[in-house]
Amino acid sequence: MKITDIKLGMLRVPLKTPFKTALRTVEAVEDIVVCIHTDTGHVGYGEAPATAVITGDTHGSIVEAIRKFIAPRLIGQEVANLNRITQLIQEALEKNTSAKAAVEIAVYDLFGQLYGAPLYKMLGGGDPVITTDITISVDYIDKMVADSISAVERGFESLKIKVGKDIGVDVERVKAIYAAVEGRALLRLDANQGWTAKQAVHAITLLEDAGVRLELVEQPVKAQDLDGMKYVTERVHTPIMADESVFGPTEVIELIRMRAADIINIKLMKTGGLSNAVRIADIAALYGMECMIGCMLESSISVAAAVHLAVAKANAITRVDLDGPSLCAFNPVDGGVIFNESEISVTDAPGLGIREIRGLEPLPY
């Protein structure tokens, strides 16, 4: 099975409700889709969102990186040579992790198709059913409480609460939500780099003293402030998770060396795809550090790849935050992973199992 062509498209899927964080507000998934064609007629699919405030990738930069730097290296390559192909992708240019991730996901999809096995089995196997949390966007307190109660009634047992805009209001938001769902759902806080180290310690301590039990607090400080992250981790009882502070394996090693956080959030758009995500999970497992698998605002194309990884690396990936498809107004993908509210299940279809993507707008080459 040889790669013969790489085509790109734009996928637009409205969200059920606007997605609000301390950094941005988004009303629709608008992602670049990669379709890798082969001489056997098989097609592999990948996807990348524009997340300029996190990875630095825009739609334009993703398209340019793939067309001018990555795609020319892959034409004619044998899909069976997976390690060589992933190396070609990673060395094609610096950074541009989302563009690399989209292409890698499509290649891994083809790798599974080549051997007639679902991707999670190619990565080591596992139980093909996992459970995700759901994100509660930053909003008025009453709205966030209502959204949280609605999520619990739909079967979600873990809620990811977005905070980081106003520390005083943040504390009150969390107290109100905790009072409304206590005993029915675990709370995960995502500050999206919205606090200083001292503010984070102050806010988390206030919540702890008020009897609020949080499963974790994600990225309370700026991405580059590992010393600040360490400061927070050492001074609170609540586990601290690094997200934007950790993109690749070398940053994971440094974070572990510093003991700067308790948990690592793996996202394929940060790692540049599955090859580095696998390395991170293995490094974390070696040092006994737990991981979460997360996503950006992505559809069920690239989130499917994250699901397969989570199943295969369940020894390290103990928490799942793959609610992107649940936030979409509809699922544009036929086949693939099955998203049913909090439960995500994987079929035994080869690769990612995607048969068709509806509404894909081809991009001119």
Residues placed in the known binding site: 24, 135, 160, 190, 218, 243, 295, 297, 321, 323
Question: Residue 21's pLDDT band (boundaries 50, 70, 90)?
Answer: confident
pLDDT of residue 164: 83
Domain ranges of the chain: 2-116+357-362, 121-356
Question: Residue 75's pLDDT band (boundaries 50, 70, 90)?
Answer: very high
Provide the token pair at 80: 């069976």
pLDDT of 365 strictly over 90: no
User: Which residues are marked as active site?
Assistant: 162, 267
User: Which one, of 275, 348, 281, 364, lies nearest residue 318 by Cα?
Assistant: 281
**Higher per-residue pLDDT: 103 or 364:** 103
Distance between CA atoms of residues 230 and 343, nearest Å? 34
pLDDT of 23 strictly over 80: no
Residues placed in the known binding site for substrate: 24, 135, 160, 295, 297, 321, 323
Question: Residue 364's pLDDT band (boundaries 50, 70, 90)?
Answer: confident
Percent of the chain with pLDDT over 70: 100
How many other β-carbons are positioned within 10 Å of the β-carbon of residue 63? 18
Phi-psi region of 192 (alpha: psi -120 to 50; beta: other; left: phi over 0): left
Question: Residue 17's pLDDT band (boundaries 50, 70, 90)?
Answer: confident
Distance between CA atoms of residues 93 and 173, nearest Å? 43
Distance between CA atoms of residues 19 and 4, nearest Å? 38
Residues placed in the known binding site for Mg(2+): 190, 218, 243
Q: Over range 353-360, report the average pLDDT.
A: 97
CATH of domain 121-356: 3.20.20.120
Which CATH superfamily groups domain 2-116+357-362?
Enolase-like, N-terminal domain (3.30.390.10)
pLDDT of residue 256: 98
Percent of the chain with pLDDT over 90: 95
Q: Is the dihedral of CA 84, 308, 64, 57 positive or negative?
A: negative
CB 144 within 8 A of CB 334: no
Q: Is 121-356 the same fold as 2-116+357-362?
A: no
pTM over 0.95: yes
Q: Over range 29-40, report the average pLDDT.
A: 98
Q: Over range 146-163, report the average pLDDT.
A: 97
pLDDT of residue 165: 79
How many other β-carbons are positioned within 10 Å of the β-carbon of residue 237? 9
Listed in sequence order, the DSSP H helices in 65-156 are 71-74, 82-90, 97-114, 119-122, 141-153
pLDDT tens for residues 228-269? Answer: 999 999 999 999 999 999 999 999 999 999 999 999 999 999
Average of per-residue pLDDT values in the chain:
97
Place of tokens 């394929």: 268
Question: Residue 62's pLDDT band (boundaries 50, 70, 90)?
Answer: very high
pLDDT of residue 31: 98
134, β-bridge pairs: 159
